[in-house]
Amino acid sequence: MPWLEKTLYIVLIYLVVINVVTFFIYGVDKWKAKRSKWRIEESTLLWWAVFGGSIGALLGMKTWHHKTLHRKFTWGIPAILLAQLAIVGIIIYYTQL
What pLDDT sits at residue 46? 98
Counting every residue, how long is the chain?
Answer: 97
Give, for all 97 residues of the chain, the pLDDT tens digit: 688 889 999 999 999 999 999 999 999 999 999 999 999 999 999 999 999 999 999 999 999 999 999 999 999 999 999 999 999 999 889 988 5
The span from the CA of 48 to the CA of 34, in Å, is 21
What pLDDT sits at residue 1? 64
What pLDDT sits at residue 67? 95
The answer to whether the CB of 40 falls within 8 A of the CB of 29 is yes
